[in-house]
Amino acid sequence: MSHEELDQLRAKLDDKNMELLKLLNERGNLVKKIGEVKSKAGTKRFDPVRERKMLDLIAEENEGPFETTTLQHLFKQVFKASLELMGEDEQKTLLV
């Protein structure tokens, strides 16, 4: 019984992982677009004020079970990876 329950929960978790993967990549594409707009405008990619606002919004909207600090840590990792995504594109542009 509990093994069947575990298998069902794991299948749901796999679905969530795939949703998460899709969402992260969708977010990545958005960040790339933002990077392009900023590049044309000559604005710096990294914006600490904007990053702070996003982290504050996470704190406001968090309903758990994760602690806000844990989520903010995870989001910071996502922000970091996204900045690298923008940097990489910039390099590619320079090579063309």
Q: Which residues bind a second copy (CB under 8 A)?
A: 2-3, 5-6, 9-10, 12-14, 16-21, 23-34, 37-38, 40-41, 50, 54, 57-58, 61-66, 70-71, 73-75, 77-78, 81, 84-85
Instruction: Supply the minimum distance, in Å, between the C-beta of residue 17 and a second copy.
Output: 6
Q: Is 45 helix (H, G, I), strand (E, B) or coil?
A: coil
The token duo for 25 is: 């990549």
Q: Cβ(45)–Cβ(93) under 8 Å? A: no
Q: Cβ(83)–Cβ(46) under 8 Å? A: yes
Work out the number of other CB atoms within 10 angstroms of the CB of residue 34: 16
Closer to a second copy by Cβ: residue 52 or 73: 73
Closer to a second copy by Cβ: residue 37 or 96: 37
Instruction: Supply the minimum distance, in Å, between the C-beta of residue 57 and a second copy.
Output: 7
